[in-house]
Amino acid sequence: MIMYNGVAVFKLRVEWQCTLKERRQVSQKVRDHIKNQFNASVKLDYEEEAQIFYCVVSLLGESENFIDNQLRYIEDYLEMLGEITYTCEVSIDRV
């Protein structure tokens, strides 16, 4: 059976918050939603600047199309939040 691993690195900027505590709350909300909704592995990393954090998402699936669609749904979720701007780098590889 052929499996695919998709990894997306999101650099997120929370436009409205100004404290590290608020950034942590927003990032944990994003992490928990992605983990629960998409059954993905999620790691958070923080920059010194209070408004920026990274969210690394890893998905495993049987088709490249499935992985690509899931990552698009995650992007749709981030856009729906409205309070976050982001950039994203994606790679999908055969395992």
| DSSP string across the chain | ---EEEEEEEEEEESS--SHHHHHHHHHHHHHHHHHHH--EEEEEE-SSTTEEEEEEEEEES-HHHHHHHHHHHHHHHHHH-SEEEEEEEEEEE-
The model carries a pTM of 0.90
Residue 42 has pLDDT above 70, yes or no: yes
- Enumerate the domain spans of the chain: 4-94
pLDDT at 57: 98
Mean pLDDT value of segment 31-47: 96
pLDDT at 17: 63
CATH architecture of 4-94: 2-Layer Sandwich (3.30)
